[in-house]
């Protein structure tokens, strides 16, 4: 464990950046939500603005063109962005929370030199782990990578499913079997950096979803995709799944932060509505059972914010945070679900109508309990670590 916290951006500079970002969210992103929802896409000019602000390279080191944020700072940015429609966070979060983390933890110096500047400049990444027949069960992974008989590269075949940003991504991190049989500690899985314009790479039409308009997912199909040897993350086979799981910790922190930020947005909306809506001659905010739902929601959001501060500080100190990141993601995503449910209830009949925000909040929030590991899978992971630590006498 490191004794020196990850430095990140200078504190005063970061505070100024966050203040600027909060204004951007309220003055630019929230007013554009109706357009994002109507067209199911973020306007190109807003994506360009986000790239110019450096959001796609938040955690990329400054020497490679990024902002060099530590995890605590990154989570605060995600929480701030998540106050607006989820699509805004989604388009850059894979870059920052998962692709960049995998490069940082497992990439060679050459891979960092090539991909960090490209990611910081705004190239969009996707993360290819889930398949039609496997998600958390890596032993069932069907995508294969076999050595290219004509050179030192690899030939990839398979299908990835529910891949965020795939329809407009520039690069994918693809998990594939490099060994036929499942080996201990998932050593049969390796990771490959694959540009999306590589021959044999294709995507399906974007899937229609319950919520999160403007955020796109689709299948990624690999049909005899030839990649050079340097595409193998870390230059060694058998380490891909470990790198993927390490990056998922950052992804789970991102989802937890997003859940917390969106819950805050929903609660603010409910607080405003409760003060404006009249019943029996007075605002419904005066009714004690409405106050109970407001106060329970505020308390749970506060708890999630405290968890976020703790887990990100642990990451920045260099601690192993698999259990803590999972716990934060579980609590925050489930909390967000409870908050948006209460918000619909506070809105009453209006909460069921699409013309009011409460209905959208309810649909958008549901996926957070599934992203980057379902609640149930993460509960099993937390328990596994608890039992392992108990057996070791910790």
CATH code, domain carrying 36? 1.10.540.10
Residues 115 and 145 in one domain: no
In a domain, 205, yes or no: yes
Could you please report the per-residue DSSP string of 284-318? GGGSHHHHHHHHHHHHHHHHHHHHHHHHHHHHHTT
Residues 259 and 367 in one domain: yes
Catalytically active residues are 372
| Residue 124 to residue 144: CA distance in whole angstroms | 24
Structure-token pair, residue 314: 């642990």
Q: Quote the pLDDT of residue 186.
A: 75
**CATH number of domain containing 197:** 2.40.110.10
pLDDT range class, residue 1, cuts 50, 70, 90: very low
Number of C-alpha atoms within 13 angstroms, CB side, residue 93?
30
Residues 371 and 358 in one domain: yes
Residues 193 and 298 in one domain: no
- Of 120, 174, 53, 318, whose CA–CA distance to 112 is shortest? 120
Mean pLDDT of 158-175: 94
- Helix (H) / strand (E) element for 242: namely helix 240-276
Provide the percentage of residues in the chain whose pLDDT is more than 90.
81
Domain boundary among the residues 78, 95, 124 is at 124
In a domain, 6, yes or no: no
Domain boundary among the residues 238, 257, 280 is at 238
Residues 387 and 255 in one domain: yes
Q: What is the DSSP letter of 131?
A: B
Residues 294 and 215 in one domain: no
Q: How many domains does the chain have?
A: 3
The residue range of the domain holding 19 is: 11-124
DSSP, collapsed to helix, strand or coil, labels residue 367 as helix
In a domain, 2, yes or no: no
Residues 119 and 79 in one domain: yes
Is the separation of the CB atoms in 128 and 172 below 8 Å? yes
Domain boundary among the residues 98, 124, 150 is at 124
Which pLDDT tens digit goes with each residue over 10-67? 899 999 999 999 999 999 999 999 999 999 999 999 999 999 999 999 999 999 999 9
Which pLDDT tens digit goes with each residue over 302-327? 999 999 999 999 999 999 999 999 99
- Of 146, 170, 158, whose CA–CA distance to 51 is shortest? 170
In this predicted structure, the answer to whether residue 332 has a pLDDT above a threshold of 60 is yes
Residues 53 and 188 in one domain: no
Question: pTM (2 decimals)?
Answer: 0.93
Measured in residues, the chain has a length of 394
């Amino acid at each position: 464990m490191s004794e020196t916290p990850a430095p990140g951006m200078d504190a005063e500079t970061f505070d100024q950046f966050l203040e600027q970002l909060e204004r951007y969210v309220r003055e630019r992103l929230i007013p554009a939500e109706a357009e994002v929802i109507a067209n199911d896409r973020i306007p190109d000019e807003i994506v360009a603005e986000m790239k110019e602000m450096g959001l796609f390279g938040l955690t990329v080191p400054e020497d490679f063109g990024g902002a060099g944020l530590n995890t605590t700072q990154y989570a605060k940015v995600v929480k701030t962005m998540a106050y607006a429609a989820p699509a805004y966070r989604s388009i850059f979060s894979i870059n920052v929370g998962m692709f960049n983390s995998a490069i940082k933890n497992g990439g060679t110096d050459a891979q960092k030199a090539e991909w960090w500047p490209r990611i910081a400049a705004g190239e969009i990444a996707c993360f290819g782990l889930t398949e039609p027949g496997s998600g958390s069960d890596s032993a069932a992974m069907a995508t294969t990578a076999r050595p290219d008989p004509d050179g030192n590269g690899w030939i990839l075949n398979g299908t990835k499913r529910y891949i965020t940003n795939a329809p407009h991504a520039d690069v994918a991190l693809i998990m594939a079997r490099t060994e036929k049989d499942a080996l201990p500690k998932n050593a049969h899985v390796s990771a490959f950096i694959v540009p999306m314009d590589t021959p044999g790479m294709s995507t399906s039409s974007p899937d229609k979803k319950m919520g999160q308009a403007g955020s796109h997912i689709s299948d990624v199909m690999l049909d005899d995709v030839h990649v050079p040897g340097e595409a193998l993350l870390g230059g060694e086979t058998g380490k891909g799944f470990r790198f993927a799981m390490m990056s998922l910790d950052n992804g789970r922190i991102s989802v937890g932060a997003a859940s917390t930020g969106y819950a805050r947005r929903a609660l603010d909306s409910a607080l405003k509505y409760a003060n404006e809506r009249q019943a029996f001659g007075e605002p419904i905010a005066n009714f004690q059972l409405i106050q109970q739902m407001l106060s329970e929601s505020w308390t749970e959001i506060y708890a999630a914010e405290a968890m976020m501060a703790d887990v990100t500080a642990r990451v920045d100190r260099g601690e192993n945070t698999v259990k803590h990141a999972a716990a934060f993601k579980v609590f925050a995503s489930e909390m967000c679900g409870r908050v948006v449910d209460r918000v619909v209830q506070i809105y009453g009949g209006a909460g069921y109508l699409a013309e009011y925000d409460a209905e959208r909040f309810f649909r958008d929030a549901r996926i957070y309990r599934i992203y980057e590991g379902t609640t149930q899978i993460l509960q099993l992971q937390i328990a596994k670590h608890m039992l392992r630590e108990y057996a070791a006498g910790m």
